[in-house]
């Protein structure tokens, strides 16, 4: 009984640590996601600005604000505008892809948090199947018994209360 109790305390401690680690990862990724969302809004704004622009100054300003590689060329407004739009669209695509990946990573972490307290002894079943053999004269009988998991008390999950 004492052993079982010590084991339960160990399992609880392990779950606590796992949850803490997962929460830290989630916080970190959520923070990154927030940053990425603001960046996407920023790039979308610049793209709007370029699409509605008819002056070289605006192209220069967008290039600076967006930290773009494309250099607008004096006297080639249309071409410069087109090149800047393409670069911004590419940045947007990359950021949106990264956003999707982050969202999916966060989902995975949430699922892991949900599963963190699944009982390691019965894998969430709440019961344990015992198999053994009994010998009677020359006959060997396979025996089977389903018993309640003692670690989780049959709940399938480790409770903390």
Q: Which residues contact 84 (CB under 8 A, 6 or more apart)?
A: 50, 59, 62, 63, 68, 70, 72
Cβ atoms within 10 Å of 124's Cβ, excluding its own: 15
HSE (CB half, 13 Å, CA atoms) of 29? Answer: 19
**Which is closer to Zn ion, CB of 46 or CB of 149?**
149
**Which is closer to Zn ion, CB of 61 or CB of 121?**
121
**Which is closer to Zn ion, CB of 12 or CB of 42?**
12
Q: How far is the CB of 151 from Zn ion (least distance, A)?
A: 5
Q: How far is the CB of 118 from Zn ion (least distance, A)?
A: 8
Q: How far is the CB of 4 from Zn ion (least distance, A)?
A: 11
Q: What does the alpha-carbon distance between residue 62 and residue 35 come to, in Å, rounded to a whole number?
A: 20
> Count of residues for the chain?
161
**Which is closer to Zn ion, CB of 47 or CB of 119?**
119
Q: What does the alpha-carbon distance between residue 33 and residue 84 come to, in Å, rounded to a whole number?
A: 25
Q: How far is the CB of 132 from Zn ion (least distance, A)?
A: 20
Binding site for Zn ion (CB under 5 A): 119, 121-122, 149, 151-152
């Amino acid at each position: 009984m004492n052993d079982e109790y010590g084991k339960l305390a160990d399992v609880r401690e392990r779950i606590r640590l796992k949850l803490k680690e997962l929460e830290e990862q989630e916080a970190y990724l959520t923070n990154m996601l927030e940053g990425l969302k603001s960046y996407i809004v920023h790039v979308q704004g610049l793209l709007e600005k370029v699409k509605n622009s008819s002056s070289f100054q605006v192209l220069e300003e967008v290039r600076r604000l967006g930290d773009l590689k494309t250099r607008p060329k004096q006297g080639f407004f249309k071409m410069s505008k087109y090149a800047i739009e393409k670069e911004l669209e590419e940045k947007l695509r990359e950021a949106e892809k990264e956003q999707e990946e982050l969202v999916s990573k966060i989902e995975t972490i949430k699922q892991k948090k949900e599963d963190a307290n699944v009982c390691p002894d019965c894998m969430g079943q709440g019961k344990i199947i015992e198999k053994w053999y009994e010998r009677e004269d020359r006959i060997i009988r396979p025996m089977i018994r389903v018993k309640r998991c003692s670690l989780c008390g049959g709940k399938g999950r480790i409770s903390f209360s």
